[in-house]
Structure 1
C-alpha cells in the first residue's frame, strides 16, 4: 500500500500534521502542493492520497483549489482531506464539487485544531495553549490513523448551527475575503525599522512575491499572495507588519518544530 500526502503550510501547523501522519501511516510520502503545482500535469499513482491544509476565510486555500483542479486521481482508490482548523462540512462539500467533475469524491474528511495564526485579527496563542492543543492533536491523529490505513469512509460532522452559519455568514465572508484579496491585505505588508535585511522573508515566501531591494523587502503587486503568513510569522526580528492591522502590538506564532527552511523547501 502506497500513501501520498499533499500539504500546504505557511506557519508550520499543516506540515507538522502531515509529518505526524507520515510517522503513523506506513509507506507515506509527503509532497508540497506548491512544488506539485509547478508541473504541467499532476498524476499520483498512490493507492491512498491525502491533502492537509489550513483554513483560509472559512474554506480551503486557493492554492489547494488550483491543485484539485489539476491533479489526476485515476490510480487512487482512497482520497481524504484534513484541515488544520476546525471547520464546517461545507469546506469538504466544496472540495467535492471539484472532485465530482473528475468522477470522484472524498472518501474521508477530518478537521483538527491547531494554534490560530491569523495575526491581523487574533492574538497569538500562549505556550500553555500550544502545548494543550498539541496533546489533543496527538490523540486525534491516533484516532485518524486506522481510519486512513483501513481506508474507511468517515466524514467530519458539525452541528446544525455551524452548518447554518456555513451556508450564510461564512459563505458571504469567503466571497468577500477572496473578492477583495482579504480587504487589500496583500498590499498592506511592509518591513519596519527593525528589519536587518536577512532575506528570510524572500526565501520563505511561497508565492515568490517578495524581493530584497537595498536590503529591504518589496512585495511585488503583480504576483498574488497565498496569504500563508510565513513572512510575518518567521521574521526573526518581527519587522514585518500589516498596515492598519495593529500587528506592531502583537506577537508572532509559527509551529515550534517547523523551521523557516522547512517552509521554504515547499518551493523546491
Structure 2
C-alpha cells in the first residue's frame, strides 16, 4: 500500500503510568507504512513510565518502531490521587510546556531521531513500582472507580457530562446522569472536570472537597466536535 504521508505522530495522555486502553487498541489495529517518520508525545503529570517501550513492543510486530519520543509535563488533574493545581501553578506549568512544545516541533520538522533521557526517570519507579501499579489498575479497572460516579444536589441536569463522555457510558434519565455499568469507562474524568456545577463526585473519596481543572485551551465544544468526527 503506497502513501504520500511522510510523518505520523501519536499524542496521548498517560493513564495509570501506561497507555490508555483506546490508544493501545488503536496502535494494534492501525496500518502504518514502514517508510515514514514516527513520533509520539505523551502528556503526563510527571511520573516516569514505560509508555514508549509499550508502543515499541506493539510496533515491533509490524516491523517498525518510533523514531522519536517525547514527554510533555502538564498539570496533573487525576483527582483520585492528586489535588488539581491552582490556576497560578497550572499556568506556570503550561508556560514551560509551551516552550517544550516548540523544541519538540523542531525535532519533528527536521525528522530527527530522538530518545532523550527522561528527567524524572527513576529505575525503581519505571521498572518495578509503576509497572506493578499499572497492572493492578488495569486488572481491577482502576479499583472499580467507574462504579463510584454519582451526582450531588448541585446537579442541574444540564446533560453536558453525557455529551462529553467519550465512551458513551453516561446517559440521562429523568434529568439525572446515569453511568451504564455495562460500558467500560475510559477514565478521562472529563465529566468531573467540565461539570459547570462541580456536581459529579466519586463515592468514598474527597472529590467534593477539592477543586477541578481542565486545560483552558480545550473547551467542551472541542471534545464534542471530536466525538462527532470519530
Q: TM-score normalized by structure 2?
A: 0.93
1:198 aligned onto 2:158? yes
C-alpha spacing 1:218/1:44, structure 2 compared with 1 (3 Å): farther
2:135 alignment counterpart: 175
In the alignment, structure 1 residue 126 sits paired with structure 2 residue 48: no
> SS at 2:171's partner residue?
strand
Choose which of 11, 20, 23 in structure 2 pairs with 1:52: 11
Whether 1:82 and 2:49 are equivalent positions in the alignment is no
C-alpha distance in structure 1 between counterparts of 2:49 and 2:206, whole Å: 32
Aligned counterparts of 1:78 and 1:187: Cα–Cα separation in 2: 41
Q: Quick check: 1:46–1:75 contact (8 Å CA) kept in 2?
A: no
Distance 2:215 2:164 in 1: 15
The 1:128–1:64 alpha-carbon spacing in structure 2 relative to 1, beyond 3 Å, is same
Relative to structure 1, is the Cα distance of residues 222 and 89 closer, same or farther in structure 2, using a 3 angstrom cutoff?
Answer: closer
Q: How far apart, CA to CA, are the structure 2 residues paired with 1:135 and 1:58?
A: 24
CA distance, structure 1, for counterparts of residue 149 and residue 4 of structure 2: 40
- Residue 244 of structure 1: aligned partner: 204
SS at match of 2:108: helix
Q: Within 2, Cα distance between the matches of 1:44 and 1:70?
A: 18
RMSD of aligned residue pairs (Cα, Å): 1.7
2: CA distance, partners of 1:181 / 1:106: 28
Distance 1:121 1:99, change over 3 A: same
Aligned position for 1:66: 25
Distance 2:78 2:71 in 1: 18
On the 8 A contact 1:78/1:151 being kept in 2, the answer is: yes
**Secondary structure of the corresponding residue to residue 82 of structure 1:** strand
Aligned to 2:170: 210
Q: What's the CA shift for 1:160?
A: 9.4
**Residue ranges of structure 1 left out of the alignment (5+ in a row):** 1-42
Separation (CA, whole Å) in 1 of partners of 2:60 and 2:83: 38
Do the aligned partners of residues 207 and 161 (structure 1) sit closer, same or farther apart at CA in structure 2, a change above 3 Å counting?
Answer: closer
The 5-angstrom pairing of residues 210-229 of structure 1 reads 210-229=170-189
- The structure 1 segments of at least 4 consecutive aligned residues displaced by more than 2 Å after TM superposition are 43-46, 86-89, 158-161
Q: Which has the larger displacement, 168-177 or 134-143?
A: 134-143
1-side partners of 2:227 and 2:3: how far apart? 19
Q: Which residue of 2 aligns with 1:105?
A: 65
Could you tell me whether the CA contact under 8 Å between 1:111 and 1:156 is conserved in 2?
A: no
Quote the Cα distance in structure 2 between the aligned partners of 1:46 and 1:163: 37
For each residue in 1:70-99, what CA deviation from the matched residue of structure 2 results, as whole angstroms up to 9, or x when unmatched?
Answer: 111116511111111145362101110000
State the aligned residue count. Answer: 226
